[in-house]
Amino acid sequence: MPTGPKGEAAGGLRDDKAEHRIWLGPPVLNRLKPMGGPGKSYSDLILRVARG
């Protein structure tokens, strides 16, 4: 997965299959970790946050 420019917390792109790929910096991941639970992936958490 590509990395974002220095200092960028998050970014994204669309791959050749039209799937969305995002990258998150350590500060963002550190904020997501406490929101999770057993069996929860970062994808689950990101979708939950996006849906509000």
Q: Is the pLDDT of residue 1 over 50?
A: no
Q: Which residue has the higher pLDDT, 14 or 29?
A: 29
C-alpha closest to that of 28 among 2, 52, 1, 4: 4
Q: Is the pLDDT of residue 5 over 60?
A: no
Q: Please name which of 33, 14, 15 lies closest in space to residue 49, comparing C-alpha atoms.
A: 33
Burial of 38 by CB count in 10 Å (0-12 exposed, 13-18 middle, 19+ buried)? exposed
- Mind listing the pLDDT tens digit for each residue in 30-46? 888 888 888 888 888 88
- Name every residue whose Cβ is closer than 8 Å to that of residue 36 and which is 6 or more positions away in sequence: 42, 44, 45
pTM reported for the whole predicted model: 0.51
